[in-house]
Structure 1
Amino acid sequence: MKRFALLALLLAAVLFTGCLSPKVNFKIEPNPIEVTVNQTALTGIKLKVTLSGFSLAYTVEAAVVELYDDEGELVFTTTEEIGITIPVVSGIGKTIDLPDVSLSEIYAEIDPAFTEAIYNEKLLGKTYKLKITLTGKNPTEDTADIIFK
């Protein structure tokens, strides 16, 4: 009986201290992401997702995508509503292929008449930072470098 009480106390302590708090962790792959002069979209990006904690109904509300230039200034942001509820069991993982991300808005922000010459002048050799944040009970984020070659 004492062992059961001790086990119950230990379980309660783990639950109340947040050790089993659900979280969706991820890494952006590849990192760095390389962009070339005639590329119109970021392609082949994957999120390597791992789950930690425990929950029967964890909701991923949205994905916030931000792009920062080589001086750390925000140049592009978008929020994609996700609104999915998933069970979270620690240790489970999956790789998710992201849809292509168009670069046209970024190019248009630099110059509406974007050309190869403007690419070479404004982007070639620079490194931007891609940041993705998954919002929910415990928001999580990762960053990757985008290198313009």
Structure 2
Amino acid sequence: MRLKILITGLFLLSVTASYAAVLTTLNGEKIPFTSLKGKWVLINYWASWCQPCLDEIKELNQFYQLNKDKIYLFAVNFDELSNHEQLGLIKKLNINYPSLAHDPRAMLKLGDLRGVPATFVFDPAGNFREALYGGQTINSLKKAIQG
């Protein structure tokens, strides 16, 4: 019985932690994770030294433009650059979707990042669905959001 209570408590704690998460964009906008309910949420990790990351930016831009009505897409830079440096790089690379100022993995209980590029996918109810590793295409992203 105690084990059942402990497991239930840990589950509720992890769910509560995700719902308490607040994403902060490089522009300073604070977005409660709960406010994103109703749309798919994709969080893409990338680095400036990672060629597959750079190659997928065009695909991510197109996917974002085509699906703005049903998704939120956020970039997280893995280079640990200052906000100013990130903004310069985002402009140079023509990234057209919002970028986060801080890595939300701990808040969202996503665990370790095995490499980049990586895209974490959450369903419209806010539940974590899957982690996509490697460069993504419009088709692979479409497949990921087909409930």
Using the size of structure 1 for normalisation, the TM-score is: 0.29
Higher percent of residues as helix: 2
Higher percent of residues as strand: 1
Using the size of structure 2 for normalisation, the TM-score is: 0.29
The structure number with the bigger radius of gyration is 1
